[in-house]
Structure 1
Amino acid sequence: MKKIFLVSLLAFSMSCFAQSKVLKYNTDFVIFEGCDSIINKEKCFKEKSSRYILEQLTDSLQTKLIRNSKKDTITMSIRFFFDEEGNITKESHFYSSVDSISKHFEQLLIKFPRVKPMRDEFDRGVASFVNSFYGFTLDTITNKLLPINDFEPTEVPYAFLDKLPVYKGCEDTNDNELLSKCINSSLKRHLQENFRADLLANGLDLPLGINSIFLFFTIDKTGKIIPTSVRAPHPILKMEGLRLIKAIPDVDSPGYLDGKAVSVPFFLPLKFLIE
Structure 2
Amino acid sequence: MKRHFHKMHGLGNDFVIVDARSEPFSMSADRARAIADRRTGVGCDQLIVLEPSDAADLKMRIWNQDGGEVESCGNATRCVFALTGVGSVETGGGLLHGSNEAGDVEVDMGEPRFDWEAIPLAYPMDTAALPMAWDELASPRAVNVGNPHVVFFVDDLDEVPLERIGPTIENDAAFPERINVNVASVGADGIRLRTFERGAGLTLACGTGACATAVAAIASKRLTSPVRITMPGGSLTIAWEPGGSVFMRGGATHVFSGELDLEALS
Q: Which has the higher strand share?
A: 2
TM-score range for the pair, normalised by the shorter chain length: under 0.3
Q: TM-score, normalised by structure 2?
A: 0.27
Q: TM-score, normalised by structure 1?
A: 0.27
